[in-house]
Chain A
Amino acid sequence: MKTPSELRYTEDHEWLRPEGKSGRVGITDFAQDQLGDVVFVELPEVGRAVKQGEAFGVVESVKSVSDVFAPITGKVVAVNQALVDSPELVNQDPYGQGWIVEIEIANDGEVQALLDAQAYGALQEGGH
C-alpha cells in the first residue's frame, strides 16, 4: 500500500494534501483496496462548511459503503466532478485524480495534529 510522505492522514483513512490556504482530501490506498471497485461517490455542495470529523460524503462499492469524514474544519471550495462519471478514479489513483474535495483550512493546528505517513503506516500494520 502506498502512503505518500508529503500527505497527512486520519485514523478513518482519509488523506489531506495541504497546499497554501486549502488542501485536497481523498481516501487512502488502503481504504480503496478495502472497499473494492468504487461505483459511486456522493459529493458535498461547494460552499458547505464542515467540521473536523463530520461525514461530508459517501464512497460506495457494490456491496459496501463508507462515509468520508472531514480531516479538518473548513469550507468546501471545490469538489472533484470527474468522480461523477468515473468513480473508479478513486481506485486507480487515490492520491491524485481520485481526490474528492478541496477544503479551505480554517485552523493550521488541526493540520499539524493529523497523522504523518509513518504514523498512519503504523496504524495499518496494527491491523485495521
Chain B
Amino acid sequence: MKTIFEEHEAGRGTEYLPSRKVDLGAYLPAGEIRSELPLPELSEVQAVRHFTGLSRRNYGVDTGFYPLGSCTMKYNPKINEDTARLPGFAQLHPYQPEETVQGALQMMWELQRDLGEITGMDAVSLQPAAGAHGELTGILIVRAYHESRGDTARTQVIVPDSAHGTNPATAAMAGFEVVHVPSDERGGVDVDALRQLASEKTAALMLTNPNTLGLFDERITEIAEVIHAAGGLLYYDGANLNAVLGHSRPGDMGFDIVHLNLHKTFSTPHGGGGPGAGPVGVKAHLRDFLPMPIVTNGDGHFHLSYDLKDSIGQMRSFYGNFGVLVRAYTYIRALGGEGLREVADDAVLNANYILSLIKDHFDVPFDRIPKHEFVVAPPEDLVRQQGVKTLDIAKRLLDFDYHPPTVYFPLIVHEAMMIEPTETETKETLKGFADTLNRIIDEGRENPEYVKTAPHNTVVGRLDEARAVKQPKLLERLGG
C-alpha cells in the first residue's frame, strides 16, 4: 500500500475550517514564522480509503481468535465505546471547576472503590497510564515508603526469573538494583533461594500470581512472610488478575501494592498498543504515598484531593486515561461481582480445555493445573531434527487466520509458547484452534519446509528485521 506521502498531491486538501485570511505577521515576529510545512495533502475520500485500507491489513479481537499469552485479549464490549464518547465524559476539559464535573468524579470515585474491593486494597489511584506506568508508580511508592522511615539501605528489588521484562526495567527506573530469584521445579518462586536473597537490603519483591507460566504460586503466604519479615514490601503485577477475579485477592495474599491493567482484565481495547490504564492500589499504610490527585467524597460532593502528605508526586498530566476508565467502569457495572467471578471461571476452564486437547502433541514443562494461560513448547525432536521452531508454528498459524500465542516468553522455558484464550471464546473456537496447532505439529514432521517458510497467505511474508536495523528507514519525507 502507498503511504500518505506517496498519495500526496498539492491542492487536494478539504476545507474543515473557516478560510478567513490571517496575517500572522501582525502577531508574531517575522523570524518566528515558519515558511515551509512539508505535510501531505489528500482528498477526504483518499484519506478514508487509505486508513480503511490500513485497517484491513490489521488483525484485532473482532477479526478472530487472539490467544496472546499475558495480554488477555478478551472481547471489547461495544457499549464501552459508546459510553466513553458521551459528551458529558469526552467533552470535559481537565481544568473545569469541580462543580461542573461531578458525574465524572463520581464515576472515578466509584471505580477507585470497586477496584479496591476487587483487589483487596484500601486505596486506589487511577492516574497511571498503562501497566508499565502503574509498575513505576508502585515501585516509586516502595522507594518513598522506605525513605520516609529513613530506611535508605534498601537498594534491591527482587524479581523472579520468569518475570516480565518490565519488572526489572521498572525497578531500575526507580533507582533500584535488580536481584533475580529462580523458579522451583513446580514453576513457583524457589522459597529457599528467596530466603537467602531477602535481607535488610530488600526493598520489595515483584510478583505476578498466577505467574507468567500461568501457575498459581501455592506458597504465596510463605513468600509474603519471608519478604515482610525482612522488612520489604510485596508488589503485585496485575497482568494475570483475570485468572483469579472473585476467587482470590492480592490483598488477601499478602501484597501491599498492586497495579491493574484495565486493558487486560477489564475489557478496554488495546488500541494497537495503547491507550491502556494501570491503576495502582495500596494497603492503608501506603495510602499517603499514592500519586495525586485522588478522588474523595465528602459533604455530598466529589473532590480532586491533593492532600496526601507523603505522595510520590504526579505520574502524568491530570487524572489518568479517563476515557479508558469510563470503559472499565461500564464493564464492571455490566458484569457485577458474580459476572467477574464467572470471567475467571471460564478463563481458566478455557485454558485447561485447550491444554487437554494439545498436550499429546506438545511438550508441557510443568504438569500442573494452569490458570488462565499455560506454556508449552513444540516437541524437542521436531525442533532438533526437522528444525521446526516455535516461531515457525506461530507464523504458520497466521495462514489459518489465528493470531499466534506469545512466543519465546517466559525466558525460562526453551521455545516457549504462551497461550491465553480468555473467557469470551466459544468451545468451537477453542477446539478449532487446538486442532490447528496439532495439525501444524504433524505438518512439521511431514513437510517441515512448508512450515518453516510460513506464512503463505498474508499480505507480506516474513520481513527482514536485520535490514530494518542495518539500513534503517524510520520515516518518509515529502518528495522522497
Query: Hey, which bits of chain A sit against chain B, CB under 8 A?
Result: 37, 39-40, 60-63, 87-88
What residues of chain B lie closer than 8 Å to A63, measured between beta carbons? Answer: 408, 465
Interface residues of B in 371-426 (CB under 8 A from A): 408
Q: Which of B453-480 contact A (CB under 8 A)?
A: 465-466, 468-470
Q: How many whole Å from A43's CB to the nearest CB in chain B?
A: 16
* Alpha-carbon distance A63/B469, docked complex (angstroms): 11
Q: Closest chain B residue to A86 by CB distance? A: B470
16 A-B pairs whose Cβ atoms sit less than 8 Å apart in the complex: A37-B466, A39-B466, A39-B469, A39-B470, A40-B469, A40-B470, A60-B469, A61-B466, A62-B465, A62-B466, A62-B468, A62-B469, A63-B408, A63-B465, A87-B470, A88-B470
Query: What separation, in Å, do the CA atoms of A110 and B468 have in the docked complex?
Result: 40
CB neighbours of B469 from chain A (8 A): 39-40, 60, 62
B272 CB, min distance to chain A CBs, angstroms: 21
With A and B bound together, what is the CA distance between A88 and B471 in angstroms? 13
Complex-state Cα separation, A60 to B470, whole angstroms: 11
A73 → B minimal CB distance (Å): 25
Main secondary structure of the interface of A (DSSP, over half): loop
A39: chain B residues within 8 A (beta carbon): 466, 469-470
Within the complex, the shortest CB–CB distance from B383 to chain A, in Å, comes to 15
- Shortest Cβ gap from A92 to chain B (Å): 13
In chain B between 85 and 127, which residues have their CB closer than 8 angstroms to a CB of chain A?
none
Complex Cα spacing A40 to B470, Å? 7
- How far is it, in angstroms, between the C-alpha of A37 and the C-alpha of B469 when the chains are bound? 11
A119 to B408, CA, bound (A): 31
Q: Report the bound CA distance from A62 to B470 in whole Å.
A: 10
List which B235-285 residues lie within 8 A (CB) of chain A: none
Query: How distant is B468 from chain A, measured CB to nearest CB, in Å?
Result: 8
Bound CA span A26–B469, Å = 22
Other A-B pairs beyond A39-B470, A63-B408, 14, CB < 8 Å:
A37-B466, A39-B466, A39-B469, A40-B469, A40-B470, A60-B469, A61-B466, A62-B465, A62-B466, A62-B468, A62-B469, A63-B465, A87-B470, A88-B470
A-B pairs with lowest CB-CB distance, top 6? A39-B469, A62-B465, A37-B466, A39-B466, A39-B470, A62-B466
Which residues from chain B contact A60 at a C-beta distance below 8 Å? 469
- Complex alpha-carbon distance, A62 and B465, angstroms: 7
CB closest residue in chain B, given A60: B469
Q: How far is the CB of B467 from chain A (nearest CB, A)?
A: 9
- B408 contacts across to A, CB distance below 8 A: 63
For B470, list chain A residues within 8 Å (CB).
39-40, 87-88
Chain B residue numbers with a CB within 8 Å of A40 are: 469-470
Whole-angstrom distance from the CB of B414 to the nearest CB of chain A? 12
What's the least CB distance linking B387 to chain A, in Å? 14
> Which A residues are in CB contact (< 8 Å) with B465?
62-63
Bound CA span A95–B53, Å = 49
- Give CA–CA (A88, B470) in the complex, Å: 10
What is the minimal beta-carbon distance from B331 to any residue of chain A, in angstroms?
A: 35
Measured CA separation A61–B468 after assembly (Å): 11
Question: Which residues of chain B have C-beta atoms less than 8 A from A62's C-beta?
Answer: 465-466, 468-469
CB distance from A38 to the nearest CB of B (A): 9
A37 CB to closest chain B CB, in angstroms?
4
Which residues 438-466 of B sit at the A interface, judged by CB distance below 8 A? Answer: 465-466
Residue of A nearest to B465 (CB): A62
**C-alpha gap A87/B469 in the complex (Å):** 11
A79 to B468, CA, bound (A): 25
Residue of chain A at shortest CB distance from B468: A62
- Chain B residues within 8 Å of A37, by CB: 466
Contacts of B468 in A (CB 8 A): 62
How far apart sit A21 and B466, CA to CA, in the bound complex (Å)? 37
Of all chain A residues, the one with the shortest Cβ separation from B467 is A39
Chain B residues numbered 345-393 whose CB sits less than 8 Å from any CB in chain A: none
A-side contacts of B466, CB under 8 Å = 37, 39, 61-62
Complex Cα distance, B465 from A10, in Å, reads: 30
Residue of B nearest to A36 (CB): B466
Minimum C-beta distance from B110 to chain A (A): 43
Report A110 CB to chain B, min CB distance, Å: 28
Closest B residue, CB atoms, query A38: B466
A100 to B460, CA, bound (A): 36
Which of B465, B468, B470 has the largest count of A CB atoms less than 10 A from its CB? B470
Distance in angstroms between the alpha carbons of A86 and B468 in the assembled complex: 14
User: In the assembled complex, how far is the CB of residue A81 from the closest CB belonging to chain B, in whole angstroms?
Assistant: 16
Taken together as a complex, chains A and B put the C-alpha atoms of A80 and B126 apart, in Å, by: 51
CA–CA, A74 to B158, complex, Å?
35
Q: Which residue of A lies closest to B408 (CB)?
A: A63
How far in angstroms is the closest Cβ of chain A from B417?
Answer: 16
